[in-house]
């Protein structure tokens, strides 16, 4: 997996809740969402040029969920918020007593 994607060892509903909390923690907002498809369009409150699409895909055979971020551009600032977002998700899941794979 590359730096823009991560697999979490929990169900899609749990991961979506963690995503909402992680986005708030890194000062991002949800501009649009499609719960059926599991996609979110997000942007930074402070830096509107930062953001992108987050895709959430459950594994059909195991209790895992794949999260992938498609940034608006490929510059370094985009990579920084994605890393901070995944770090925050990992931290929230660990605090809740669940494990997430790297």
- What digits encode the pLDDT tens for the residues 23-72? 999 999 999 999 888 899 999 999 989 999 999 999 877 889 999 999 99
Q: For position 99, what pLDDT does the model report?
A: 58
Residue 100 burial class via C-beta count within 10 angstroms: exposed 0-12, middle 13-18, buried 19 and up: buried
* 67 in Cβ contact with 12 (< 8 Å): no
**30, 40 Cβ separation under 8 angstroms:** yes
- Domain 5-95: which CATH class? alpha beta
Stated pTM of the model: 0.89
Two structure tokens written together for 80:
């920084």
- CA dist., res. 48 & res. 7, Å (int): 27
pLDDT over 80 at 89, yes or no: yes
**Which pLDDT belongs to residue 96?**
81
């Amino acid at each position: 997996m590359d730096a823009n994607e991560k697999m979490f060892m929990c169900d899609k509903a749990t991961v979506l809740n963690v995503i909402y909390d992680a986005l708030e923690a890194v000062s991002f907002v949800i501009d649009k969402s499609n719960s059926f498809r599991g996609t979110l369009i997000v942007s930074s409150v402070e830096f509107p040029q930062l953001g992108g699409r987050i895709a959430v895909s459950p594994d059909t055979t195991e209790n895992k969920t794949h999260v992938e971020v498609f940034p608006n551009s490929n510059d370094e600032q985009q990579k920084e918020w994605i890393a901070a977002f995944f770090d925050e998700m990992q931290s929230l899941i660990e605090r809740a007593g669940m494990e997430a794979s790297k």
